[in-house]
Structure 1
Amino acid sequence: MPASHQDELIISVARNHRQVFRTNQEAHVGREGNVRIGADDVNLHRVMFVVWHNGSTWMIGNKSSYLPLTITPNLQHSHAVTTMGPKSVTSLPPGESRITFSTQTRSYTVMVLIPVHVMNRPSKMRAVSGDLTVLPQRFNEEQEQLLKILAKFQHNTKEVPPVKKIAATLGWTDKKTNQKIERLAKSLATQGERLFKPYRQCVAEYAERTGWHNR
């Protein structure tokens, strides 16, 4: 059975050339991505940005550490133009959007289309991390402990240890630690964060990116 349009994301990087992605696929846009642009531009990242589906909506993440992205939705929609700072993440609005960015030597435009007629209701673009306006996310005391520990492991070693070591550091049981990590990862996913396994890595990357290793 063919996929419905709601499962599609269409990316165009040149006239008469488009690529279709399903919800179980990711689009990596850059000079060495699966959506290739600027192959001869040494100032462009190998992967400039990534688009994926988090189970409810299409998300975009700026992978650059210094280049911003600008998202301009089709004028028939009421969404404002949004600038994504380095390492930021946001949801994409329905319909067609123009994503632009520039290196020292060249400017790029990538068109992204999420078919509108399958959307149940308009969704406002909202930022969940990085240099955009961050939605408030409240954590309880134990969640904060977990975020700080995982962020420090990720920041200091770029590796997240097994659950047993995390549990020992926190003074928790392995079972409690596993449950806390999984619940926190799924809670972050409802805010637009990408959910993947192992959950401890998912939470650790979020925690480091949002500065929990400095708290």
Structure 2
Amino acid sequence: MKSPDLVIIDDLVGGRWTLQPGESTTIGRAARIPVGADDRYMHRVLLEIWYANGTWMVANRGNRVPVQIESRQAGALAHMRLGPGASSPLPAHRSALVFQTPETTYELHVTLTRAVDVPLAQPVHTAPMTAGQFSPNAEQAALLRALAAPLVRRAGAGNDDIPTVKQLQDTLDWSQKKVNTKIDYLCRKLAENGFAEFSHSGPGPALSRRIQLARFAAEHRRYWDRM
């Protein structure tokens, strides 16, 4: 009989790994579980899975690739986005870890045999950058801060709480043209630097780019919020 604490990781292309309580592993281009070995946009270590206080945890150790955690249990509706630096308990039973780079989309299936309690998160250790680089200047950082402010301030904030172009004009004392130009430029630069959610978005309307950039700004704020 298998231990109720076993975790089984399947990369869907023939790789299968089993973890016992007390063990840990990493997932990425040069990790213990190799994923995207030839993908220059993949982090050397993107994900870490470990066991702590009766709970299996997963953390995003990268700084550019968000990870979707989707429950695959019958009748379950759980869906969670694990941004860079974030950690979470693995869902009970079966789930999928889905992430993408500009080159391809990856999916791993994880089987956990029982629900567990939530422990304190481990410290975050950021994986090194791979291809591309994003380092906003002072004006870009100010725009990112303004866009992210309501999402950072209140966990339940939605798209309607994201500042409009007019509100950004008032906050930053910029013209409407400057606000829109900065949003467009940032989206293009992020696409060029390997952030997949911008690479596949296309030109799109300004509203969708503003919301997309606000969500990005909130998830990645630890990289620019001190500017």
What displacement does 1:56 show? 1.3
Which of 63, 66, 73 is residue 65 of structure 1 equivalent to?
Answer: 63
Which of 101, 108, 111 is residue 109 of structure 2 equivalent to?
Answer: 111
- The 10-residue stretch of structure 1 (31-40 or 76-85) with the greater mean CA deviation from structure 2: 76-85
- Say if 1:103 and 1:125 are closer, same or farther in 2 by CA, change over 3 A: farther
Counterpart residue type for residue 12 of structure 2:
A
SS in 2 for 1:87: coil
Show the 5 A alignment for 1:171-210.
none
Q: Over aligned residue pairs, what C-alpha RMSD do you find?
A: 3.5
SS in 2 for 1:6: coil
TM-score under structure 1 length normalisation: 0.53
- How far apart, in 1, do the equivalents of 2:120 and 2:64 lie? 18
- Say if 1:128 and 1:78 are closer, same or farther in 2 by CA, change over 3 A: farther
Name 1:96's counterpart in structure 2.
94
Q: Could you list the structure 1 runs, at least 4 aligned residues long, displaced by more than 2 angstroms after superposition.
A: 14-17, 122-134
What displacement does 1:92 show? 0.8
- How far apart, in 2, do the equivalents of 1:97 and 1:124 lie? 17
Name 2:175's counterpart in structure 1.
none
What displacement does 1:75 show? 4.0
Cα deviation code 1:82-118 (max 9, x no counterpart): 0111100000111110100001111100111112xxx
- How far apart, in 2, do the equivalents of 1:35 and 1:76 lie? 27
- How far apart, in 1, do the equivalents of 2:84 and 2:3 lie? 30
SS in 2 for 1:5: coil
Counterpart residue type for residue 32 of structure 2:
N
- Say if 1:58 and 1:77 are closer, same or farther in 2 by CA, change over 3 A: farther
Structure 1 contact 93–125 (Cα < 8 Å) conserved: no
Cα deviation code 1:2-57 (max 9, x no counterpart): 8x422311000124431101112112001111111111111100111001111211
How many residue pairs match? The answer is 132
- Say if 1:67 and 1:113 are closer, same or farther in 2 by CA, change over 3 A: same
TM-score under structure 2 length normalisation: 0.50
Structure 1 contact 13–109 (Cα < 8 Å) conserved: yes
Name 2:162's counterpart in structure 1.
none
Structure 2 contact 55–119 (Cα < 8 Å) conserved: no
Counterpart residue type for residue 10 of structure 1:
I
SS in 1 for 2:22: coil
- How far apart, in 2, do the equivalents of 1:77 and 1:110 lie? 20
Q: Which runs of 5+ in 2 are unaligned?
A: 125-150, 156-220
- Say if 1:38 and 1:80 are closer, same or farther in 2 by CA, change over 3 A: same
Structure 1 contact 89–127 (Cα < 8 Å) conserved: no
Which of 31, 50, 53 is residue 52 of structure 1 equivalent to?
Answer: 50
What displacement does 1:66 show? 1.8
- How far apart, in 2, do the equivalents of 1:84 and 1:43 lie? 18
- Say if 1:111 and 1:87 are closer, same or farther in 2 by CA, change over 3 A: same
Q: Which runs of 5+ in 1 are unaligned?
A: 135-208
SS in 2 for 1:39: coil
What percentage of aligned pairs have identical amino acids?
24
Name 1:87's counterpart in structure 2.
85
- How far apart, in 1, do the equivalents of 2:120 and 2:66 lie? 14
Name 2:16's counterpart in structure 1.
18
- How far apart, in 2, do the equivalents of 1:26 and 1:49 lie? 11
